[in-house]
Amino acid sequence: RYISTFRPSVKCEAAKNKAQCKTMGPAKVAVPSPNNFLQKHSKEPKLPAKKKEQDSKKLPALSVPRRTDRPVMGIQSKKNFINTNAVAAIKGLPKKPRPIYVDRRQGDKYLLEPSGLVPKYIKKKDYGITPKYVTQRNEETKRAQEECEARILEDLKKRAMKRLSDEERRSLLQGLKKNWEEVYHEFQGLPVQIDTVPKKLYKEKLELQMKQLEHDIEVIEKHKVIYIANE
């Protein structure tokens, strides 16, 4: 039978650690004190303490140097300010004086622009008036729109429905009755025994014509005013 070579070492280690944890947990673990019991909100994360507002007490930054500040020494510039100023004075445009007026012999000067002596564009008589070309263009647009609307109304009137006069209505009614009598006369001339397909079809055709004529006659007799569409 196979026997492991590590068997003696395993037995030795098992014998050493056999009775190490017979009690409730390791023997050398410190028992917690009864005073350190779990309290309410003890496991919640605590925020850091609020700092006092010191920003309001800070003084605003001064634009002037402090007494303890020292100027930067050793900076030199190779610019020739005399020549630069002379070139700028030669090439520069002369400054225009502001217009003034004097109203007394003592020489008191006042600005001319706000005095009201200079004519302003807003003081003109035609200020705010619509130009003539804009008015003319608006009138042409309005005239073209009116002509288009008149043309459309005229077309609608041409296509509008026409009312039949009493004489036309009477003649139309008489014509329908005459047609009905002719169809009825043909219907009466049919043979008593209808045994073929053409005879049946002819009879159905006459019945449909009579029914349509009767419907038209009834409509015209019922309505005194009749309109027809112009095609």
Say what the pLDDT of residue 73 is.
82
CA distance 17 to 12: 9
Q: How far is CA 229 from CA 63, 168, 172, 213, 220, in A?
A: 93, 15, 16, 20, 16
pTM of the model: 0.33
Q: What's the Cα-to-Cα distance from 138 to each of 114, 135, 151, 152, 207, rounded to whole Å?
A: 39, 5, 20, 21, 66
| Strand 109-111 versus strand 100-102 pairing type | antiparallel
Predicted pLDDT at 56: 57
pLDDT in tens, the chain (231 residues): 888 999 999 888 877 766 655 656 556 677 788 888 888 988 888 888 877 666 556 666 767 888 888 888 888 888 899 999 999 989 988 888 888 988 888 888 888 888 878 777 777 777 778 889 999 999 999 999 999 988 888 887 777 777 778 888 889 899 999 999 999 998 888 888 888 888 889 989 999 999 999 999 998 888 887 777 665
- Helix, strand, coil percent content, the chain, rounded in steps of 5: 45, 5, 50
Residue 96 is classified by DSSP as P
Q: How far is CA 9 from CA 2, 21, 102, 124, 147, in A?
A: 16, 21, 124, 120, 120
Q: What is the predicted pLDDT for the residue at 147?
A: 93
Strands (E), the chain: 100-102, 109-111, 161-163, 227-229
Judged on CB neighbours under 10 Å (0-12, 13-18, 19+), 209 is middle
Side-chain half-sphere of 73: how many Cα atoms within 13 Å?
2
